[in-house]
């Protein structure tokens, strides 16, 4: 092993490996013996495509340029569903990103080359999500935009697959989700209204459905302070997750009313940033398989609905997403700490796991991969959490008189969370001699509603306190260099990054990916779904000014690099540009990388590569070390010696 300065280690984990890892799986669905999922393809200008697998046969359903992706709420989800009339008559209905119309394509494995048929005839101002087949037609959430007029209108609709005609089933609420029909002619669905987000408070309704309209809609559960997630019929019993008692636990509704299936101090669901997430799946009238998260750490359990008992099934994965039924058990998207995500089938008879789909493994041995350590540390609002990744590289070691630099990463949302899943962006740093701390600050999910609500009225305070407390914890243990601490984050994590730089002196550099700097401008410019989110996060109109980094540039005295997409409707480019201009005018080293055509998050391979390399080159200049890689240059204003 070679002793070398941290940051300058040579690593096989390059930007191409990071880019390849952004090819991922999503929206797993099943129908009989067939599995369906979306696959993101950064090398195809960031488009997604639909894949089906029956037995050992795999087929791509959506040829170029089709891109199954909804824009409802801008985050989308539920972009397709499967209608099944037998294996040779499966049809898949999907929302195409470019025009937001619904299209039909055969789901049979012997129909290669078929072009999708257009079902609806709208334009991008009429969008659909959460598609669900009711046996006769498509159920969907619709979002209609009126140009520069009032905010978009959301409603619940039925789409005739032959004519494309659209019938409104329910309207009047700000938001809708999860239209789920029963076998006996009832429809369950979720609604909520401003200023709530779906993880603050929703209502679960049931209505009689005669095939043309709904009758007698009745509120079954939920309210302004109770979040309902994933209603699903299991025979005559309606299952759902509710956080009424402080955690998203499983509940049921039947002729006897609503009751908790299994009271538990763990989470059985998560925040509905996107539509149609499946956190549990029925495997009979009496049992469901569910993802259970305790203190941020997930496992799979088998729940007996009648006895209220949970039995362990699996804890080998670092995350479990999109649980679906298969003939032999269940399938899900599995994350791992030391290998890329896979689609996995778990047999319930013998508990064996089989990989259904997995990406090509990059040529990187396990001795280059940092394994995360779960941290719990004290902070102002109580104990907080993080995953710590130490420098890891079989060919290098740290000199006895050096401590590694630390990169603190802040997840988005902010009502989201960090998992232990293998992230090649983290490994890019740790394999070059950095330590990384991925912080689950107050407001994160996976720890119960009380932990989530620590951020209410305290965004820009609690999240920063927890990031700072994490740094102090690691410094006190002698694990990182306090003089070389950087912070980065995207979206809401970008705000936490900029606020931490403005309101503390712990961090020496930062990277904001489509982050928020001007809260007042965000409140005026952002999309409907999050337009009242700041009411909860900040708590008062005064906080829009008090906690906006743009208003405290006088306190921000370290270098920052900004990454932004031109088509971002959630955090518009003016957020990054106003911060860049203010720092440049002050004489602070600052860089700005703008990607044409990208939205909220970067999907194109060349832009993902550019981001990781420019960010690392920026930190190398800031901390004055020489990278082992030949990195493309990045233009930095106000840098000594020129950018």
The answer on pLDDT for 643 being more than 60 is no
pTM of the model as a whole: 0.93
Please check whether residue 263 lies inside any domain of the structure: no
Percentage of the residues of the chain whose pLDDT score is greater than 70: 97
pLDDT of the residue at 612: 94
Please check whether residue 337 lies inside any domain of the structure: yes
Tell me the per-residue pLDDT of 594-642, one tens digit each, with 9 for 90 and over: 989 888 877 888 888 999 999 999 999 999 999 999 998 889 998 876 5
Contacts of 149 (CB under 8 A, 6+ apart): none
Are residues 507 and 590 part of one domain? yes
Tell me the per-residue pLDDT of 368-387, one tens digit each, with 9 for 90 and over: 999 999 999 999 999 999 99
| Beta strands, E only, 22-137 | 25-31, 34-41, 47-54, 57-60, 80-83, 91-95, 102-106, 117-118, 126-133
Are residues 376 and 306 part of one domain? no
Are residues 472 and 349 part of one domain? no
Residue that finishes a domain, picked among 300, 331, 361: 361
Please check whether residue 338 lies inside any domain of the structure: yes
Query: What's the domain range around 330?
Result: 284-316+323-361
Residue that finishes a domain, picked among 331, 361, 391: 361
Are residues 353 and 414 part of one domain? no
Tell me the per-residue pLDDT of 62-79, one tens digit each, with 9 for 90 and over: 999 999 999 999 999 999
Please check whether residue 195 lies inside any domain of the structure: no
pLDDT of the residue at 119: 97
Number of domains comprising the chain? 2
Spatial contact of 496 and 531, defined as CB atoms under 8 Å apart: no
Are residues 617 and 481 part of one domain? yes
Residue-averaged pLDDT of the chain: 93
Residues 509, 515, 521, 522, CA torsion sign: negative
Query: Apex CA 544: angle with CA 541 and CA 545, to 5°?
Result: 110
Tell me the per-residue pLDDT of 232-241, one tens digit each, with 9 for 90 and over: 999 999 999 9
Please check whether residue 522 lies inside any domain of the structure: yes
Please check whether residue 234 lies inside any domain of the structure: no
Parallel, antiparallel or unpaired: strands 396-397 and 2-3: parallel
Are residues 390 and 341 part of one domain? no
C-alpha closest to that of 107 among 31, 24, 27, 28:
31
What's the CATH number where 471 sits? 3.40.50.1820
Tell me the per-residue pLDDT of 328-364, one tens digit each, with 9 for 90 and over: 999 999 999 999 999 999 999 999 999 999 888 788 9
DSSP 31: E
Please check whether residue 414 lies inside any domain of the structure: yes
pLDDT of the residue at 208: 97
Are residues 446 and 341 part of one domain? no
Are residues 392 and 350 part of one domain? no
CB atoms inside a 10 Å sphere around CB 539: 15
d(CA 181, CA 172): 20
Bridge partners of 408, per DSSP, are 437, 487
Please check whether residue 216 lies inside any domain of the structure: no
3-state SS, residue 339: coil
Are residues 449 and 384 part of one domain? yes
Residue that finishes a domain, picked among 296, 331, 361: 361
Higher pLDDT, 42 or 408: 408
d(CA 75, CA 48): 14
Are residues 586 and 607 part of one domain? yes
Are residues 617 and 480 part of one domain? yes
Are residues 487 and 532 part of one domain? yes
């Amino acid at each position: 092993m070679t002793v070398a300065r941290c940051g300058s280690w040579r690593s096989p984990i390059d930007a191409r490996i990071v880019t390849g890892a952004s090819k991922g799986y999503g929206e797993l669905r099943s129908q009989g013996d067939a599995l369906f999922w979306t696959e993101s393809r950064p090398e195809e200008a960031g488009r997604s495509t639909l894949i089906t697998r029956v037995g050992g046969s795999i087929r791509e359903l959506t040829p170029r340029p089709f891109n199954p992706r909804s824009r409802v709420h801008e985050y989308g989800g539920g972009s397709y569903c499967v209608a099944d009339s037998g294996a040779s008559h499966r049809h898949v209905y999907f929302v195409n990103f470019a025009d937001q119309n619904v299209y039909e394509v055969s789901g049979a494995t012997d129909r290669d080359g078929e072009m999708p048929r257009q079902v609806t005839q709208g334009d991008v101002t009429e969008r659909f999500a959460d598609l669900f087949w009711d046996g006769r037609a498509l159920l969907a959430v619709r979002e209609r935009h009126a140009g520069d007029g009032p905010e978009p209108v959301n409603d619940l609709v039925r789409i005739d697959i032959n004519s494309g005609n659209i019938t409104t089933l329910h309207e009047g609420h700000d938001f809708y989700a999860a239209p789920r029909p029963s076998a006996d002619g009832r429809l369950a669905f979720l609604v909520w209204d401003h200023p709530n987000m779906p993880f603050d408070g929703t209502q679960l309704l049931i209505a009689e459905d005669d095939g043309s309209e709904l009758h007698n809609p009745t509120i079954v559960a939920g309210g302004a302070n109770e979040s309902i997630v994933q209603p699903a019929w299991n025979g005559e019993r309606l299952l759902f997750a509710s956080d009424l008692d402080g955690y998203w636990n499983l509940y049921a509704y039947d002729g006897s009313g609503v009751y908790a299936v299994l009271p538990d101090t763990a989470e059985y669901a998560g925040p509905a940033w996107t539509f149609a997430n499946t956190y549990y799946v029925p495997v009979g009238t009496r049992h469901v398989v569910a993802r259970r998260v305790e203190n941020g750490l997930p496992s799979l359990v088998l729940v007996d609905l009648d006895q209220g008992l949970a039995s362990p099934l699996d804890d080998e994965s670092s995350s479990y997403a999109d649980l679906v039924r298969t003939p032999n058990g269940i399938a899900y998207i599995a994350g791992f700490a030391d290998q890329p995500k896979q689609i996995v089938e778990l047999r319930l008879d013998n508990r064996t796991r089989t990989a259904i789909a997995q990406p090509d493994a990059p040529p990187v041995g396990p001795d280059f991969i940092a394994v995360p350590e779960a941290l719990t540390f004290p902070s102002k609002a109580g104990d907080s959490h993080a995953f710590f990744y130490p420098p890891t590289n079989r060919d290098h070691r740290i000199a006895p008189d050096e401590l590694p630099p630390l990169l603190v990463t802040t997840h988005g949302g902010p009502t989201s969370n960090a998992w232990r899943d293998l992230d090649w962006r983290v490994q890019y740093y740790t394999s070059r001699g950095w330590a990384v701390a991925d912080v689950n600050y107050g407001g994160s999910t996976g720890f119960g509603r009380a932990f989530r609500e620590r951020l209410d009225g305290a965004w820009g305070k609690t999240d920063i306190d927890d990031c700072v407390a994490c740094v102090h914890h690691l410094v006190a243990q002698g694990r990182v260099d306090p003089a070389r601490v950087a912070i980065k984050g995207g979206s809401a994590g970008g705000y936490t990054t900029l606020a931490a730089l403005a309101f503390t002196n712990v961090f020496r550099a930062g990277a904001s990916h489509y982050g928020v700097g001007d809260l007042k401008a965000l409140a005026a410019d952002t999309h409907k779904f999050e337009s009242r989110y700041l009411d909860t996060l900040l708590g008062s109109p005064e906080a829009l000014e008090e906690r906006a980094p743009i208003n405290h540039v006088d306190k921000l005295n370290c270098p920052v690099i900004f990454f932004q997409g031109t088509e971002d409707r959630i955090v518009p480019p003016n957020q990054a540009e106003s911060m860049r201009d203010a720092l440049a005018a002050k004489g602070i080293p600052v860089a700005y990388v703008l990607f044409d055509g990208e939205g909220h998050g970067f999907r194109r391979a060349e832009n993902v590569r550019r981001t990781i390399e420019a960010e690392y080159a920026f930190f190398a200049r800031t901390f004055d070390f020489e990278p082992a890689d030949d990195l493309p240059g990045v233009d930095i204003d106000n840098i000594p010696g020129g950018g």
